[in-house]
Each structure stands twice: as C-alpha cells, then as structure tokens.
Amino acid sequence: MCAAMAFTLSEIMAARRQQQQTQRGVRGVVEVDEYSANPTQAFTFYNINQGRFQPPHVHMVDPLPHDTPKPPGYTRFVCISDTHSRTDTIQMPYGDVLLHAGDFTELGLPSEVKKFNDWLGTLPYEIKIVIAGNHELTFDQEFMADLIKQDFYYFPSASKLKPENYENVQSLLTNCIYLQDSDVTVRGFRIYGSPWQPWYYGWGFNLPRGQALLDKWNQIPDSTDILLTHCPPLGFLDWVPRKMQRVGCMELLNTIQRRVQPKLHVFGHIHEGYGMMTDGTTTFINASACTVNFQPMNPPIVFDLPNPRSS
C-alpha cells in the first residue's frame, strides 16, 4: 500500500468508534472529516477499516418498474435529474410527486428556464419540486456577479447577460416549488433541497470541501424525510470511471448517516452514477437522465413511500 493510503492504529480505532455510533443509530454532531479533501482516499480508508460501503448493509437496489401498481396508502415519487434542456424525448411515468435534482438547463439562461418551466406545465403530477445544479449559473447570484466582471468570457452566453435579465430568474419557475437551502412539507413528507457541491471546475454553486460545505449541510433539519441535493454523498453512486475517482461529499455522507437519516436522498450531477443504493436506513437515488455523453437515455426512477400517519 502506498504511503498516501497508510493509516495509523489511532485513525483506525477512531473510524471504528464512529462506525459503531452510526450502526447504533446515534444522531450526533458532524464535524469536518480528516479525509474530506480527498474523497477517493476517504472511501478507501473507511472501506478498509469499517467496511462502510460494503454489503450486506450497503447494496445496490433495482429500480421499480414504471408499471408496478402503487400500494394503497403510499405516495409515488418520480425522481429525475440532469435533463440539461433535453426533455423532449423523456417518457415520464405515473406518480404523485416529481423531484428534480438540478441541472435542468445548460447554462441557466432565462430562455432555457422558460422552456423547462413550460415542460413542467405539461406534466400531470400533483406536486413538482425542483432544485438548481451547477449548470444553473444564473441561480447563483454571487457566481454571476463575479462572471460578468471577467475580461474573458468563460461562459459567453451567460456572461453577456445583464443583471436585470436574470436577477429574478427563480420567478420563471411558475409550475413547481423551487427549493434552495429551504424545505417544504407535502403529503406529510418534509422535503429539503440544496444545490451546493464540492468545487467542480468553474461552474455554479461550488464550495470548497470541508467546513464551507458542512455549513450548508448543517442547515438540513433533523426531521427531513426526503433530501434533495445536486451532488452525491461519498461512496454512493459517485464513481467517475474515466478519472478513477470518487467525487462525492464526505460531509454530506456524514450528515445523512450520523444526523439527518432521511428515508430518501435524491441527487444527480455524476451522470455515470445513475441508479439506486441503500444503507438500510436511507435509499440513495442518482436520477441523472443524461449519460456521460449528455444523451437523455436514463429513465426517471420511481420510489414509493408509505404516507406518514397523521397525529
């Protein structure tokens, strides 16, 4: 094993104590992980010393066939992400609530947002919930403020926009509930949405790994039933084969497993990670519609949850 992957006995024992707490279901305070800056190393460390990402407690799940009857007393969630203005050919299944985990445009241009909103208006779901992703540049006001000051145009179409053309871009989403570090309760389920991600080239909603992202995840309420983020947590549908790297967020994983423990976590961002996994408490869905080549080939994933009992 190379030096970068060598771990001390104290590190191993600390990792095992953390794993025991997680297995007992103890909800604790989440701190920045010592391996936060290197997700691939973090995955290796925790897999070797905890078996944290190994069966039987962590395993893949086959998506539910779209024609499966919904059980009585359940709500069917239709999960999709990373449609990138390519919705024309996507066949949408029956369901009650649509969850879109971001990257619904190429650059967040107002014309793209309007097109997406028009598409949402054609869908029959009772409730539609949407978050932004790194491609929704105009939804990240600080990003746009910096972009238009640059002498070169990294994103020409977006950087030439005038502020008055995008400062209220969220208001164009009239056919859905838009969440940004906020929550909504529908059908008794508390749903929280957040667009942030570990720094990814020069796109929107980027934050450094570690405390900056943890500060965002700390806003997620403990009582969240469904978590909607654009980025994946470490080790769950976050593998990028062409780079041989894990790219998920360590702090997001720890927040989910050690504190929030939602029933469902829906995300996208990593097109190659499309699919479902579970750790026995949370079902993780990477709902990326587009493949790595930006072809909308992956069908939406449906998931049924029993309706909460009214008190």
Radius of gyration of the chain (CA): 19
Of 139-153, 219-233, 257-271, the least confident = 139-153
Mean pLDDT of 236-250: 97
The 10s digit of each residue's pLDDT in 67-123 is: 999 999 999 999 999 999 999 999 999 999 999 999 999 999 999 999 999 999 999
Q: Which residue has the tokens 């072809």?
A: 295
**pLDDT value of position 28:** 81
Cα end-to-end span (Å), the chain: 55
User: What is the sign, positive or negative, of the torsion defined by CA atoms of 150, 154, 158, 160?
Assistant: positive
Q: Which residue has the higher pLDDT, 163 or 15?
A: 163
Instruction: Note whether 197 and 230 are within 8 A (CB).
Output: yes
The domain tally of the chain equals 1
Number of Cβ atoms within 10 Å of the Cβ of 112: 21
Residue 295 has, within 13 A of its CA and on its CB side, a CA count of 2
DSSP letter string over 244-257? TEE--BHHHHHHII
Pairing between strand 264-267 and 226-229? parallel
Instruction: Please state, in angstroms and rounded to a whole number, the distance separating the CA atoms of residues 134 and 105.
Output: 10
Least confident of 44-53, 174-183, 205-214, 253-262: 44-53
User: Could you tell me how far CA 192 lies from the centroid of its own chain?
Assistant: 11
Q: In the chain, pLDDT over 90 holds for what percent of residues? A: 83
Q: Specify if 180 maps to a domain.
A: yes
Q: Is residue 28 part of a domain?
A: no
* Confidence band of 12 (pLDDT split at 50, 70, 90): very low
Residues 6+ apart with CB under 8 A from 137: 107, 108, 143, 144, 147, 155, 158, 203, 204
User: How far, in Å, CA of 282 to CA of 260, rounded?
Assistant: 10
Assigned token pair, 194:
């957040």
Yes or no: say if 249 and 213 are a contact pair by the CB < 8 Å rule.
yes
Average pLDDT, the chain: 92
The range of the structural domain enclosing residue 77 comes to 60-306
Torsion 288-80-259-194 (CA) sign: positive
Query: Cα–Cα distances in Å, from 285 out to 88, 184, 207, 227, 238?
Result: 23, 20, 22, 10, 11
Domain of residue 108, CATH code: 3.60.21.10
| Residue 225 domain-assigned (yes or no) | yes
Distance between CA 49 and CA 153 in Å, rounded? Answer: 46
What gap in Å lies between CA 228 and CA 232, rounded to an integer? 10
Are β-strands 197-198 and 206-207 bridged in parallel, bridged antiparallel, or unpaired?
Answer: parallel
Beta-carbon contacts of residue 249 (< 8 Å; ≥ 6 apart): 39, 197, 198, 209, 213, 217, 231, 232, 233, 234
Q: Does some domain include residue 31?
A: no
19 pLDDT above the threshold of 70: no
CB 298 within 8 A of CB 289: yes
Q: Is residue 11 one of the residues assigned to a domain?
A: no
Among 12, 54, 58, CA closest to 34:
12
Whether residue 9 lies inside any domain: the answer is no
Does the pLDDT of residue 159 top 90, yes or no? Answer: no
Q: Is residue 294 part of a domain?
A: yes
302 located within any domain: yes
Give 4 or 83, the one with higher predicted confidence: 83
